[in-house]
Structure 1
Amino acid sequence: MNSGFDDFLTLEVNNLDVDVLTGIYSEETHLPQPLRISIRARLKIADHYDPDTPLSRSKNYMDLKHAATAALPEGQHFTLIEAVADHIIETIFLQDDKVTHVEVKIVKLALSEKGEEIGITMGRGRR
């Protein structure tokens, strides 16, 4: 009987602070801007996870962290934070064919005056 709820597994890495060359300000100063990046990756779920289920049936969340840090090309200026999000999403899809959907939230910390979060959330399904 279908209850209307699909099983899902989402890996999350939240609130990574990363300095990225982005926006007009970075273009003028050649200094990176601080971004707070959160990633959610939805995976094809296994039928069941036993205590000894190997990591290969899921995904290492450090891969998500890598996509938002070391995998961003050093010295590359991204005019839009949308392009940063796109790069992270593409990296995660390339890492693992079990990933079916990726959502990236980017907050521009330099714009915050009183702790508000200003930025974007981008989600893409595997094409």
Structure 2
Amino acid sequence: MTHPRQDDYLALEVEDLQVDVLTGIYSEETHLPQPLRISVRALLDIEDHYAPDTPLGRSKNYMDLKHAATGALGEQHFTLIEAVADHIIGTVFLQDDKVRHVEVKIVKLALSEQGEKIGITMARWRK
């Protein structure tokens, strides 16, 4: 079996999920969630070749990424959106050992006045 080149990769992506999350001082005062736009990108171990009949288990279900950015957040209050990103990254790593790197982008929609995107991007390699 040959091994893929070091710069070969498989990325699963879920972009622009709108999620209401209890975050920041506003949520702390009002107990109301704030709308966030969340994108998740996971780099996975790549196979040497993907035949037409390669089973799903050789990749990852992108719905797992969606769940990590929506259902896995629950009713927990996060003071910082950095903590939201860190929680999502941790969830994706726990879901699947094939995931080597996770990147999460979060845009705080409530801060936008003229369509600008204000937020963060956090990325971590599996340790």
TM-score by length of 1: 0.95
Aligned residues: 123
TM-score by length of 2: 0.95
Q: In structure 1, what is the equivalent of residue 41 of structure 2?
A: 40
Q: In structure 1, what is the equivalent of residue 117 of structure 2?
A: 117
* Cα separation, 1, equivalents of 2:77 and 2:72: 14
Q: In structure 2, what is the equivalent of residue 10 of structure 1?
A: 11
Q: In structure 2, what is the equivalent of residue 56 of structure 1?
A: 57
Partner SS, residue 83 of structure 2: helix
Amino acid at match of 1:110: A
Q: How does 1:53-92 map to 2 (within 5 A)?
A: 53-74=54-75, 76-92=76-92
Amino acid at match of 1:65: K
Q: In structure 1, what is the equivalent of residue 94 of structure 2?
A: 94
For structure 1, the 5+ residue unaligned runs are none
Question: Alpha-carbon deviation of 1:7?
Answer: 0.6
Question: Alpha-carbon deviation of 1:5?
Answer: 6.4
Percent sequence identity is 81
Deviation readout 1:42-94 (Å, 9 max, x if unpaired)? 000001001110110100000000001111122x1100000000000000000
* Cα separation, 2, equivalents of 1:104 and 1:47: 27
C-alpha RMSD of matched pairs (Å): 1.0
Partner SS, residue 85 of structure 1: helix
Partner SS, residue 114 of structure 2: coil
* Cα separation, 2, equivalents of 1:70 and 1:5: 34
